[in-house]
Amino acid sequence: MTQVLDHLPCRKTKKILCCYTNTTRHIQIARISNITHCFFEKVIFPRQRLLFETHPDAWLEIYSSEQCSAILAERILCNCLQAIV
């Protein structure tokens, strides 16, 4: 299991640590694009865990990559992904 810690390059001050795990057998793309002046996109391999910091009202969009297309599979409020430390 690979762990990645990324910081969303935002000017907003309040950030939370979030965790998402790809439990599928497919490569996924995680994207946050609803925060002004911020853009975050990462490839997540099967069984890989992604740790990242973001604003609590950000939405994590998960695109599932099956064959040659990427389809929006789910949209999760990052506040629901907050990691407990």
Arch. (CATH architecture) of 3-81: Sandwich (2.60)
Output 11-16 pairs: Cβ under 8 A, ≥24 positions apart. 11/37, 12/38, 12/55, 14/55, 14/56, 15/53, 15/54, 15/55, 15/56, 16/53, 16/54, 16/55, 16/56, 16/78, 16/79, 16/82
Domain residue ranges in the chain: 3-81
Task: Quick: pLDDT tens for 28-71.
Answer: 999 998 887 778 899 999 999 999 988 889 999 999 876 666 77
What's the predicted TM-score (pTM) here?
Answer: 0.75
